[in-house]
Each structure stands twice: as structure tokens, then as C-alpha cells.
Amino acid sequence: MSASILVVGSVAFDSVKTPFGEAHEILGGSATYFSVAASYFAPVRVVAVVGKDFSDEHLGVFRKHKIDIEGLTRVAGNTFRWKGEYGYDLNEARTLDTKLNVFETFNPVIPESYRSSEYVFLGNIDPELQLRVLQQIKRPRVVACDTMNFWIKGTLDALKRTIQHVDILIINDSEVRMLGDEANLVRAARKVLGLGPKTLIVKRGEYGVLMFHGNSIFGAPAFPLEDVYDPTGAGDSFAGGFMGALAHAGEINERVFRRGIIFGSVMASFNVEKFSLERLTDLNRAEIDERFRQFKALTHFEEL
């Protein structure tokens, strides 16, 4: 039995337009993508807030994946809504509208039964709230954390306080450069590691992932796909696969981290193949393992 993973983040209704189609108010949010991806590897517990418009039907996805929703609070008001679109390069979303709704006053309360979770992922929310989560729980084996430009610009001090308590920071390359205040990614990464995290994972979208861990660097390309329909949730699916693989392995070392990055990349690659959670909710372990093997074939070369 794998150790449990606690995720705190957003549950949202997304309206997404890509060059290949569009979808209106479909289930999304960082906690959702993360927990579904992680659920293929280990038990997941979610802390998030939804509104009265969040139906039992919407809970179906969480139930299907046996995700513990004791910490999913339903309060008066509407669920967080995000509307965005992607151009042909699919690398960056243009946000058209954000309605925080019930998320505006989100104050994560960690249920008693979640407090000794060994693996914790702090989704991209206000760093003050991320810290409050850590204050409510027993010191986990691994705390991983996401953030974004908005918090790096707006609440840098709070963010720095939070990531002092974080083992693994998982952010994209432009965020590393901004947080490290340095154009060269390797130098920026070293500066970010100086802020506290022992490990920095840099997401580079279609170009893959780099991990900085002590003096070691690991690099993996993204899985080359002929059909990319909707990149929404790729980062959180990556984090879910990564943390899931860690919890499943039970060990904490670079070997496990590297395999975790491949599992994370596998989950992200499935996620972007269809809209919303369509593909991510419809997988099995054999498919996941097969794509892991394809990653090995993709990257293998013989030693000198």
C-alpha cells in the first residue's frame, strides 16, 4: 500500500478554446488534474473549495478515482471559473476571464484524517495559504510546491517564506528566471535552490523537464505527440504523476526522482491528447507503463 498524497489547490470550471476545438465550463483546476493523475499511483486526498453549482455529477470523477474528498468543501456561491485560449503553438494560454468566486475567500482547513499525509503537493495558490497548510500538518516526508509569476511579482516575501519549507519546487522556466532574477537558466536555478528547496523541477512545456538536485542535473524531453488538443492541466498532471510515483516507490532518492519525472511526463503527455480530463480519467496502468517504456526508447543511447 502506497503512502497517501495530500493536494491543496483549485477546483474550477474551465472554458477553453484551442485551434482544434472548444469546451465550455468543463471540470478543471490544479487540484483536479493533480489528483486524477496521482490516483493511478497512490491514494490521494484533496483540499479545495467549490460552490453550490458543483453537482454530485462533478464529484463522479473524484469518486471514480477513489480520491478522498473529505477536504473538498462546498460553500455558498459559485465555483471558480477560468476562461482561456491557446494559439497554434499551444505553449501559452491567454487568459480571457477569471472569476475567483468561492476561491476568493478560500482558507484551506486540513481535516484531521489528512494531517499525517507523507506526501504533500501545494498547488498554485496564494503562498500565505500554502504556508497555512503546512502549519496544520505533521511534517511530511516530501513537500512539493507550485507557484506562478503572479505570486513572484506580487507576494515575493510570502513566497520566499513558504518555499523555505518546501523540498521540491515545480515551476516553469520563465518562473525560474523571474524568481532567480537571472536570464541564464542554470544560474537562476542555483539561486532558487539557495532559497530553500533541495530540488527544483523546471517545466519547459513541449521541450520537457530539467531537474536540479544538489550538483546533479537531470533532463528529459517531452513526449513528441502528433495530436495535442488542450495543454490545460499539463503542469498539474505532471506534478501528479511525479508525486504519485514517489509515494508509490516509498524511497526518497535521485533514482526515484528521475523515474518520477518520467512518470510525470507520461501523465502530462496523456493529458494534452484530449480536452479537459477526458484522457486522464480513462487510463490504465498498462498504458502508463507502456508510455514509460516509450520514453526509455525515446531517450536511450549507448555509453562510451
Measured from the CB of residue 225, what is the shortest distance to a copy of itself in angstroms? 6
CA 228/CA 238 separation, integer angstroms:
15
Residue 156 near a copy of itself by CB under 8 A: no
Identity of the residue, 166 or 266, whose beta carbon is nearer to a copy of itself in the bound complex: 266
Contact 297, 251 (CB under 8 A): no
CB atoms within 10 A of CB 172: 20
Residue 261 near a copy of itself by CB under 8 A: yes
Identity of the residue, 159 or 220, whose beta carbon is nearer to a copy of itself in the bound complex: 220
Site string for a copy of itself, 47-76 (x = CB under 8 A): ------------------------------
Which of 58, 155, 221, 273 touches a copy of itself by CB under 8 A? Answer: 221
Identity of the residue, 100 or 298, whose beta carbon is nearer to a copy of itself in the bound complex: 298
Residue 274 near a copy of itself by CB under 8 A: no
Q: Sheet of 68-74: strands edge to edge? A: 68-74, 44-50, 5-8, 119-122, 142-145, 168-172, 199-203, 209-213, 216-220
Residue 94 near a copy of itself by CB under 8 A: no
Region class of 126: left (phi > 0), else alpha (psi between -120 and 50), else beta:
beta
Residue 7 near a copy of itself by CB under 8 A: no
- With H, G, I as helix, E, B as strand and everything else as coil, classify residue 72: strand
Q: What is the 3-state secondary structure (H, E, C) of 227-243?
A: CCCCCCCHHHHHHHHHH
Contact 70, 45 (CB under 8 A): yes
Which of 85, 206, 273, 278 touches a copy of itself by CB under 8 A? Answer: 206
**Cα separations in angstroms, 270 against 43, 77, 290:** 20, 33, 12
Which of 58, 198, 258, 274 touches a copy of itself by CB under 8 A? Answer: 258
Which residues on neighbouring strands pair with residue 15, listed in sequence order?
83
Residue with cell 522556466: 173
Burial (0-12, 13-18, 19+ Cβ within 10 Å), 304: exposed
Which residue stretch of 62-70, 132-140, 161-169, 258-266 sits at the interface with a copy of itself (rule: CB under 8 A)? 258-266
Which of 196, 208, 273, 274 touches a copy of itself by CB under 8 A? Answer: 208
Query: How many residues lie near a copy of itself (CB under 8 A)?
Result: 42
Burial (0-12, 13-18, 19+ Cβ within 10 Å), 73: middle
Measured from the CB of residue 217, what is the shortest distance to a copy of itself in angstroms? 5
Residue 252 near a copy of itself by CB under 8 A: no
Residue 112 near a copy of itself by CB under 8 A: no
Site string for a copy of itself, 74-93 (x = CB under 8 A): --------------xx----
C-alpha cell at 39: 490516483
Identity of the residue, 48 or 228, whose beta carbon is nearer to a copy of itself in the bound complex: 228
Site for a copy of itself in 161-200 (CB under 8 A): 183-187, 190
Residue type, position 66, single letter: K
Binding residues for a copy of itself (CB under 8 A): 19, 88-89, 183-187, 190, 204, 206-208, 210, 216-221, 224-228, 255, 258-259, 261-262, 289, 292-293, 296-304
